[in-house]
A and B are shown apart, each in its own frame.
Chain A
């Protein structure tokens, strides 16, 4: 029997997207050279949040699911990663792994509840679940409540690389984040990713084509939660700190803003968005609550007149995929 293949899909599958390759090389070069000019801790923060935003974008940009509770995976992963490194004295690689695994588990549980409703309800459910786990974090002993987990030791990676050295830490974070970035790119360009995009465009039709969309959505949700958890785990290692800020709903709002500003459903948008927002939060920190106001204004402007985001607008102007 002859298989019918969409010629557009074929073209897409085999041709190299040169714009993406060039942008990726540029990104690697920038992050490779930047620590000689910019404070590495700031760059590591950007990298962690870039990964967080990319994970979030996987869900909102490619499946069309708006999770309003991604702080849940980011925050709890950072707690477990910090706790393992501090209380159990686990090496960094295992601490990051257990944090990520925690996020995956939470993603399975929260995801299977949340995908029972669509659209606006999905957003409210994910937000409510995250708030529940925030209240849990406020009470249980493991998280240290209001104090959080402070002074997490940085340890030796694989028993060899000393992460208390800022540059060694930077290389570790950069390698992990770039690997995760490529993984996400691979996911969205796989046959699985094509089904996700089909669900985004028209879920009913995808069901009628014989796909069990709930399973696809759940897998995408868990992948997104897991990668968000990886970002949170790394962040805990970099800052040697896990705190309530990481699980609060404001964190879910931050990652949403980064993705929206950078460009929903673009490959590089979340990275650019993370850079802009983190830079803004750092430089405007002395202005206190005005940061909140400015972030709110950016939200409003993005939704009203700038829905493609920075990278989306750029890609549109250059007529390339980015």
Chain B
């Protein structure tokens, strides 16, 4: 044990780790929002509810079907992503020609419906979800104790984030996607089924939210309102980063998580407002956001 700025290393690195964990979720969620916004021009307010559904899917799969964490990690995003595809087909596709604000209102309404239903059946109290057997315990790094599960969350979300970035920025499919974002009519003229791409993009973004939810289940309790407060912070993250760039969303998410963690060490009172304060400062200095192009 040693001290940095009068803070024991254990506390400092502990909060830093927690910050990185939060940052992983910010990054995954703002990434999903950015991908959806790019294609559909909609801010997906349901994102928080879909994150919560991911966590619930993991919980219910374990409780009633007996499928463990690793299976849930694959199945839950697919299931919840499929509900996303349904939502896009049923509702969102009809809003394409309207002001994007209607998309915000509609997804807000959907978030209320989903949260209300889950609260109805599961109450407001959280339900615990066990860390999977293989990731229990942790190791002593000398300056801090690192629980295995938390290390896994950070590494895995980094992998998912960079895989998404690679798929969008470096593959042929991704180039279609980016082209369709710029000019859907032209891309359609080349014989690419843009509406289907839009649907699948929404499903993918929702799947990312659900994946984050599964990963969050063992760390936070599984509860119906776990998504609604988080999504507002993620909105602030998105405003800070700007939704123009995939990498921007990832980096901003992780950095803000770390900043939040450090604030918890040095100014605990300000820890849950610091991201909003940063948002205000960024808006005053660089209104378009750190990575954003001005609209």
Contact = CB atoms under 8 A, between A and B. Distances in A.
Given A124-B43, A128-B239, A299 B106 contact: yes
Contacts of B11: none
Contacts of B288: 117
Contact of B279 (A119, A125, A291, A300): A125
Given A131-B232, A290-B120, A296-B110, A123 B101 contact: yes
A289 B112 CA distance: 10
A118 interface: yes
Contacts of B8: none
A250 to B, nearest CB: 9
B197 interface: no
Interface residues of B, number: 43
Contacts of A292: 112-113, 115-116, 119
**Residue from B94, B117, B235, B284 with most neighbouring chain A CB atoms (10 Å):** B235
Interface string A281-322: 000000011111101111110111001000000000000000
B236 A299 contact: no
Contacts of B235: 124, 127-128
B143 to A, nearest CB: 31
A136 interface: yes
Interface string B90-108: 0100110000111011101
A296 B277 contact: no
Interface stretch (B20-28, B62-70, B209-217, B268-276): B268-276
Nearest to B242: A121
B47 to A, nearest CB: 12
A293 B112 contact: yes
A233 B5 CA distance: 46
Interface string A61-76: 0000010100000000
A120 interface: yes
Contacts of A300: 91, 106, 109-110, 113
B236 A128 contact: yes
Given A119-B295, A124-B239, A249-B232, A290 B116 contact: yes
B173 interface: no
A91 B238 CA distance: 44
A98 B295 CA distance: 38
A127 B195 CA distance: 31
Contacts of B106: 299-300, 303-304
B101 to A, nearest CB: 5
Contacts of A288: 120
A55 B272 CA distance: 30
Interface in B163-215: none
Contacts of A128: 232-233, 235-236, 239, 276, 279
B283 interface: yes
Nearest to B229: A131
B117 A125 contact: no
B276 A131 contact: yes
A260 interface: yes
B120 A293 contact: yes
Interface in A208-252: 249
23 contacts: A113-B284, A116-B284, A117-B283, A120-B37, A120-B100, A124-B43, A124-B236, A125-B283, A127-B232, A128-B236, A135-B272, A253-B112, A289-B117, A289-B120, A292-B112, A296-B110, A296-B111, A299-B105, A300-B106, A300-B110, A303-B105, A303-B109, A304-B106
Q: Closest 4 interchain pairs by CB?
A: A299-B109, A296-B112, A292-B116, A296-B113
